[in-house]
Amino acid sequence: MNGRKILIGISGGIAAYKVCEVVSTLAKAGTQVRVILTDAAQEFITPLSLATLSRHPAYTDRDFWQPTHSRPLHIELGEWAEILVIAPLTANTLAKLAGGLADNLLTNTVLASRCPILLAPAMNTDMWEQLAVQRNWQQVLTDERFCGIQPSSGILACDRVGAGRMAEPSEILAHIESLLHTGGKRDLKGKRVLISAGGTREHLDPVRFIGNPSSGKMGIALAVAALHRGAAVTLVHTMDEALLPRGVVRAIAVVSAEEMREAMLSCFPEADVTVMAAAVADVRPRDSVSEKLPKRSLPSSLALEVVPDILAELGSLKQAGQKLIGFAAQTGDIVKPALEKLERKKLDAIAANPIDKIGAGFNSDTNQAILINSHGKQVEVLPCSKLEMAHRLYDFVLGE
């Protein structure tokens, strides 16, 4: 993100206050942020607030009509930006985009730019559901330059409960990161991607289990990256439903390795790309009970049995045209065991993770890996966000 050029356009809506967090987060990450406010936006938030957060003067229509620039301001901004974000996008500004109108600095800059444009609508539910608004929304999205984040449902400023709530800053920021990486390409459009995420739990009784510290963050990042690249995503997971990204076609919650096995085997035949990112247990208690064992009744030794290898089973079922990717969390030499796993399980690619390094193990927000494919090609991915890692993995697999 450091040094990248992001232009934020704010139109008139109460959700404008959320954009402050987006601007602040981007500026703190080292991006160059410029902000345009429409006249209506200034009724909700001031140019001074955005200038302070972005570390640069915010632009308004007053700047647009003043001859204080060597070149027209909308041309300079349109050529400067790598990504243009419009949030909140009102019904009025959406209609202007759909019709190619340009009557203010923001809409003129849209027409003067060639970069990807991210749209985050926000409005009352009845407004959002109007036929004209939906027609404009669909029309705008036919232009491949535009990427839309559907509004979510919830309590709106008008006290209405329904669709129209602008996407949260974290979701907007994730889209920005993806667009900076992909440039807006949707190379998974029309593809079905199956992903497993999280760590399984093999219960001895309702409160005791054999598990691992996997948070599922890598699997979630893989799902988000696939969604941003146009895929229809099925996610088999062990996490809280509130942590799942919006837009997943199907989310299947599981707990144990056997439940994950059943879900993955059920969904696998329809998948074009399968990524097994979950940390699945290798063993489970041979005997388990449905009621909590008293402490005095706990066994002094625990009999274990091997859990079926889901990834190997998927590899044996893989058909021509399907891609199967695995992860190998290792300490010490990460390449040799990953190569063995790649061949034995008939994978197309594997990501070898050094979990003994800071920022690359379980439950971290960053990751690093050596990516290896079935042809022997190896690519090192240095420490980066897990979303960046997900995109690098798809680049590696799709670019074979």
Reply yes or no on whether 20 is catalytic: no
Helices (H), the chain: 16-28, 47-54, 61-64, 73-80, 91-99, 105-111, 125-128, 131-141, 169-182, 217-228, 257-267, 310-317, 335-344, 386-398
Do residues 219 and 197 touch, judged by C-beta distance below 8 A?
yes
Interatomic CA distance for residues 132 and 98, integer angstroms: 11
- In eight-state DSSP terms, residue 158 is T
Q: Which residue in the list 20, 115, 147, 158 is annotated as catalytic?
A: 158
Do residues 174 and 216 touch, judged by C-beta distance below 8 A?
no
Q: Which of 329, 394, 391 is nearest to 364 (CA)?
A: 329
Do residues 280 and 201 touch, judged by C-beta distance below 8 A?
no
- C-alpha atoms less than 13 angstroms from C-alpha of 97 in its C-beta half-sphere: 31
Interatomic CA distance for residues 139 and 141, integer angstroms: 5
- In eight-state DSSP terms, residue 279 is B
DSSP letters of 9-56? EE-SSTTHHHHHHHHHHHHHTT-EEEEEE-TTGGGTS-HHHHHHHHTS
Interatomic CA distance for residues 165 and 148, integer angstroms: 14
| Pairing state between β 378-385 and 323-330 | unpaired
> Active-site residues: which are they?
158
